Amino acid sequence: MRKRFVKTLIRLFRDEQGGEVIEYALVLGLVIVVAIAVITTFGGKVLARWQSVNSSM
């Protein structure tokens, strides 16, 4: 099982399309990390604003 996994990874790294897939995966990972950082940074402020609006209604 492990050899098959390693062979598949080697094949992906050698194949040009595999390289593109890896690049897209890295970009997607970066976008997810940035999104989590933004949500963490502004999440408390947004929640406080919603609670303020909710209490004023």
**Who's near 21: CB < 8 A, 6+ residues apart?**
12
Quick one: pLDDT at residue 8?
A: 82
**Who's near 2: CB < 8 A, 6+ residues apart?**
none
* Cα(57)–Cα(51) distance, integer angstroms: 10
Quick one: pLDDT at residue 19?
A: 67
Burial degree of 17 (CB within 10 A; 0-12, 13-18, 19+): exposed
* Cα(18)–Cα(33) distance, integer angstroms: 22
Give the domain ranges of the chain.
23-57
Report pLDDT digits (tens) over 1-57.
Answer: 788 888 887 777 776 666 677 888 899 999 999 999 999 999 888 888 889 888 888
Quick one: pLDDT at residue 29?
A: 94
